[in-house]
Amino acid sequence: MTTYRSIQKHFMTFEQEEGVGARVRRSVGTMKQRMFSPFLMLDDFYVKHPAGFPDHPHHGQETITYVLNGMVAHEDFTGAKGVLGKGDLQFMTAGKGIVHSEIPVQMESGEACHGLQFWVDLPKDLKWCEPRYRNLRGDKIPVVRPNENLTVKVISGKSYGVDSVRDLAYTPIHMYHYLTNKAGTQWEQEFPKNFNVFMYVMKGKVSVGDQVFPEHTAVFFNTDGDAVKGEFATDDAQFAIMGGQILDQQTIQHGPFVETDRESLMKVFMNYQYGINGFERAKGWQSSIIHGITEKQVRENEAKGLYKLDHERD
C-alpha cells in the first residue's frame, strides 16, 4: 500500500541578484533552507545580456541546468563549449575542478533566458573525479501523458511507467516537469524512501492535501512515505519536483567549492589560487563569451561545427 509524504516546510521565493546583473529566485541555498541533501541550491533564473554568469570555478559538486526559454552559451577552460536552447538540459560534474562561463545568448527577439539551475553535492569518494558533461536535448526527454490533461517530462527517474535517459549524474537524482491544461487534474509521483524530495511551482497553483501553493513557492517533504500526490489548482499550471539520495556525509561549502571537511576545503582554495591539482588551466584563462554572444554568432558557430562538449551525450 502506497504511503504519501507529509509536508516539512514551504515558503515563497523572492528575487535577488546573482552573477553579474542576473536575477534569481533561490529556494535551496537560503536562510529558509540552507541545504537539503544532496541539493545545495536551486535558482529560478532570468538573465538577459549584458547580465550573466561569467568565468567562475566549481569543485566537489554537480550542476544541472534546465533552460525553459531563450538560450544560454557555455564554455570552460578545457576548450569545451556549447549552447543550450529551450527545453535542453546540461548535467555538469565539476569534480576536482572546473572554471567555466554561462552567458545568455542575445536573442534577435529580445527574449531573456529563463531556466532552473541546481547545485548537487557529490559523494565524498567522487569529489576529485575528472570533470564531465551529459547533455539532454529537449526533444530527447521521454514524455508521458497519463491522461488528456496531464503531461510529465521524465528528465531523470521513472514516472507512470516511463523511464528516463540513464547515467546523467553521479549522485542519484530524480527530476520531473509536470504540466496541465485543466484545474482539478490529479497527479502522483513515487520516490525511493532514502531520497529527499521537494517541489517548485513554476506557473499557476498546485495543491497538496488541503494546502494550495502559488507560483514561485518551494515545498519540502518529509521522508515518511513512498510518493507525493496532489492536484493542480489552476488551468495551465506547471511544477518541477526533484528527489535526490540523501548523502551520509558532512557538507562544508564556501560558494562554488564543496567538501566534507574544512581541511579539504582549504586545500581546494590553495589549488585554485596556485593553479594546481585540477586548476592548472585556470591561470590566465578567459572565455570567448565573457562579453556576450549573439544568436547570429551561435548559428555561425553551429554551421562551423564548433559546439561540442567533451563527453557529450545527446
Provide the annotated binding site. 56, 58, 100, 102
Read off the C-alpha cell for 302.
553551429
Cβ proximity of 52 and 20 under 8 Å: yes
Sign of CA dihedral 79, 267, 254, 89: positive
Q: Is 69 exposed, middle or buried (0-12, 13-18, 19+ CB in 10 A)?
A: middle
Taking the C-alpha atoms of residue 2 and residue 195, their distance in angstroms, rounded to an integer, is 16
* Partners of 186 in beta bridges: 231
- Strand (E) positions, 48-161? 53-58, 61-69, 72-76, 81-84, 89-93, 98-106, 113-121, 132-136, 143-147, 150-156, 158-159
Name the pairing type of β-strands 293-294 and 143-147.
unpaired
Other beta carbons within 10 angstroms of residue 80's beta carbon come to 20
Question: Rounded to an integer, what is the distance from CA 29 to the centroid of its chain?
Answer: 13
Cβ proximity of 61 and 40 under 8 Å: yes
Residue type at position 89: L
Binding residues for Fe cation: 56, 58, 100, 102
* Partners of 24 in beta bridges: 16, 45
Name the pairing type of β-strands 173-180 and 150-156.
antiparallel
Question: Rounded to an integer, what is the distance from CA 232 to the centroid of its chain?
Answer: 23
3-state secondary structure of 242: strand
Cβ proximity of 199 and 240 under 8 Å: yes
